[in-house]
Amino acid sequence: MLLQIHEPGETPEPHALERSQAIGIDLGTTNSVVAMVSGSHPEVLRDSHGEGLVPSVVAYLGEEPVVGKAALAELPRHPDRVIASVKRLMGRGLGDVKRLAGALPYEVAENDKGGMVRLRVGDRVVSPVEISADILKALKTRAEEKLGHRVEKAVITVPAYFDDAARNATKDAARLAGLEVLRLVNEPTAAALAYGLDSAAEGIYAVYDLGGGTFDISLLKLQKGVFQVLATGGDSALGGDDFDHALAEWAMKRTGIAGLTSGEAKILLQAARAAKERLTMAPGAELKATIAGHEIRQSIDRGTFEVLIEPLIGRTLRACRQVLEDARLTAADVKGVVLVGGSTRVPLVRAFVADFFKQQPLADIDPDEVVAVGAALQAHALTRGSDTLLLDVIPLSLGIETMGGIVEKVIERNTPIPVTKAQDFTTYQDGQTGMLIHAVQGERETVDACRSLGRFELTGIPSMVAGAARIRVTFAVDADGLLTVSAEERTTGVKAEIAVKPSYGLSDEEMATMLRDSLTHAREDMERRLLLESRVEAERVLLALAAALKADGGLLGPAERSEVDRAASGLRQAVAGEDRARIHAGMEALDRATHGFAQKRMDLAIQAALKGQRLDEVEAGMATDGAP
Ligand code: ADP
Ligand code: MG
C-alpha cells in the first residue's frame, strides 16, 4: 500500500478511494491486450476462443471500423483499407512520417491541420490518434462485455522511449475512446510489476522486449519500490516480422517464385509467420500458401530457421551491449532479466539472452501478455488501494493506545505525506518506569475496533509521581509511506522507537470496511470513548486514595473509614459496569465520603509546614501526591 511506484516525469495521481474498476491496456504495435485484477488476481480478458491478443489492426471497410483478428483477415484483400502498426506514427509530425514514408504501407494525406499526420484510407482520412482510439474502444468493449458493466478508467502502457508528443497522442486516443487514463506506465516497468519485482531485491533489472516490429531493451533501477528507467535502447525496425521476412525469402528462393503483388506478399508473410510460430513448439513445420493459383509447400526444420534468424538476434544483443555501455554497467550488474514480446517465445532468442546475461531470464508469464498484466496491477493499485498503491496521503488515521483502550489519533486520515507529528503523554502511576506504546490505525475511537500496527516499550523512565514524566510520542511517515513511531522521555532524554509499514497487508475491502464502520459507529464510538475515559479517571482516583490511606489511614476513625471504604467499593463496582452515569455518581459519592479525610491530611500538611517547611513545597507535595 505504501510503496510508491512512479517514474521520472510522471506526476503521481492523487489517489481517491474510488470503488470503480479500472483496466490495464498494453497498446502494442502488433498486438494489444486488456487485463484487469479480479479478486486479487490479474487476468487477461480473452475472447470466446481463449485468445487474449487483439491484433492492433483496424479495417475501414463499411460504416463501422473493424478491429483485431477480423481486420487482419481483410489485409490480403484490402491492403489499402487496413491499417496496422499505427503505433509507430503516434505523436509524429508530417516531416517524420514523410521520412518514414518509403517503409510505410499507407498513403499519408496532405493536410492543413497543424502538422498532424493523417492517413488516406479508402475514401476517408483518419489520424493515428483516431485509429488508436478505435483499437482502445474494441478493448474497452471486450472488458465491458466480460464484466457486464461500464469501464471508464485505464492504465495504458507506452514504450519507455515515447516522448511527450507520443504520450499525449496516446492520452488523446484514450479520451476519444471514452477512457480516462489513470496513468501511462512504461512497458518495461509494467512487465517488472507483473513479476512483482517491486518487492524484490533492489538493483538493476533488464527488460528484453522483442515484439512484432520493434526491439526494446530497458534497464530499470529499483530502489525503495520505485522503478527508474536508467537507459533504453533497441531497434525500432527489428522484430518478429523480420523473422517472417527471412522465412518468406527463403521459401521464395526455394520455389523460385518472384514478383509478388503486395496482396500476395502479405499472404506469403502470414504463412511464414504461422510456420515460425509452430517452430517454437515443434522441431519442424510446413509453410503453406496459395499464391496466384500456385500452391506453395515447404517443409522447414528448426535448425534451418535458426540459421536464418541468428543474425537478427545478434543485432538485439549488440543493442543490449550498447545500452549497458550507456549506463556504464556490465551484464554482471543485472539482477534479473524479464522477457517481453511474442518473439521471445522463440527458443533460440531465449538461449541467446540467457547466455548474454549469464542467467535464466524470467519468462513464466506469457511474454505477449506480461505488459498488460502489469498495467492491470497498476490500475488496481490506483483505484482500489493495494500494496503497490501510489500513495500521497494517509488512507487511515494513525494513533496510539492510551489508558482504557482509547485511541488518541496522532495523524488524521488524508494528511499528505511525508508528515511528522508529535503528542505528549504522561505516566499514569507513581514510580512508573516503563510505558507500552501501541501504534494503531483506523478511524474508530477504541483500540479493539482499530488495527494494531506494532508495540514497543519505552523503558528507563526515571521514577516520578504519576503525571510528572513528559513523554513525547512522534509519528513520522516518510515519502515511501514508512511510519516510524518514537517515544522520548523529555526530562531525561530516554528514547525508544519502531518502524512499521502502516497498511501493509491491508486489503482494499478491509480498508473500506474500516472507513465505513468509523462513520456508522461514530456515535456509539463516542459514547464508548466517554465511558472508557470515565473509567480511567475513576481508577486514577481509586489508586490515589489507596496511596493516601496507606500513608495517613490512621487519621480516620472506624466509622469514617468504613464510609470511605463503602464509597470506594461502590465506585469500583461502577467501573466494572458499562454505565457512565453510575461511574460519575460513584466519583461524587467518593468525593463526599473522603471530604473529611482530605481536610485532615491538609491540616497535617500545614502542621508540617509550620515545623519549618515552606508552604509551596508542601502544596506541591500534596498536589503530586494526588490525594483526594
Ligand atoms: P508487439 O509488442 O509488437 O505488439 P507482440 O509482443 O504481440 O508484439 O509480438 C508479436 C510477435 O510475436 C509477432 O511477430 C509474432 O509472430 C511473434 N510470436 C507470437 N507467438 C510466437 C511464437 N509462439 N513463436 C514465435 N513467435 C511468436
Ligand atoms: Mg509489446
Pocket test for ligand 1, best of 277, 348, 371 (most atoms within 8 A of CB): 277
Report whether pLDDT(480) > 60: no
> Ligand 1 atom closest to Cα of 280?
24
pLDDT of residue 339: 98
Q: Which stretch, 255-269, 403-417, 508-522, has highest mean pLDDT? A: 255-269
102 vs 100: CA distance, rounded Å: 6
Spell 582-602 as b/e; 16+ CB within 10 A means b.
Answer: bbeebbebbeebbeebeeebe
427 vs 450: CA distance, rounded Å: 23
Contact criterion met (CB below 8 Å) for 387 and 225: no
Average pLDDT along the chain? 83
Residue 32 CA to ligand 2 center (angstroms) comes to: 8
Report whether pLDDT(599) > 90: no
Read off the pLDDT of residues 226-283 as tens digits, 9 standing for 90 and up: 787 888 888 888 999 999 999 999 999 998 888 888 788 888 999 999 999 999 999 9
List the alpha helices (DSSP H) in 177-330: 187-194, 240-255, 262-281, 302-326
Read off the pLDDT of residues 105-117 as tens digits, 9 standing for 90 and up: 667 776 555 556 7
Out of 170-184, 215-229, 235-249, which region has the weakest mean confidence (pLDDT)?
215-229
Whether 341 is in the pocket of ligand 1, judged by its Cβ within 6 Å, is yes
Report whether pLDDT(2) > 50: no
Which helix H or strand E contains 228, and what residues bound it? Answer: strand 226-235
Residue 234's SS3 state is strand
Residue 100 CA to ligand 2 center (angstroms) comes to: 21
Whether 359 is in the pocket of ligand 1, judged by its Cβ within 6 Å, is no
Q: SS3 breakdown of the chain: % helix, strand, coil, rounded to 5? A: 45, 25, 30
DSSP per position, 401-427: EEGGGEEEEEE-TT-BSSEEEEEEE--
DSSP state of 554: G
User: Quick one: average pLDDT of 379-404?
Assistant: 68
pLDDT of residue 394: 65
Whether 159 is in the pocket of ligand 1, judged by its Cβ within 6 Å, is no
Residue 342 CA to ligand 1 center (angstroms) comes to: 3
Domains of the chain and any CATH numbers: 22-239+308-392 (3.30.420.40), 398-520 (2.60.34.10), 523-610 (1.20.1270.10)
Report whether pLDDT(528) > 60: yes
pLDDT of residue 12: 37
Residue 58 CA to ligand 1 center (angstroms) comes to: 18
Ligand nearest to the CA of 285: 1
Ligand nearest to the CA of 272: 1
Cβ contacts of 144 within 8 Å, gap of 6 or more: 150, 151
Ligand nearest to the CA of 51: 1
Q: Please choose, from the candidates 23, 42, 50, the residue with its C-alpha nearest in 3D space to the C-alpha of residue 34.
A: 23
Side by side, which strands form the sheet with 66-67?
66-67, 57-59, 82-84
Whether 31 is in the pocket of ligand 1, judged by its Cβ within 6 Å, is yes
Residue with CA at minimum distance from ligand 1 atom 6 = 341
Structure confidence at residue 312 as a pLDDT band (50, 70, 90):
very high
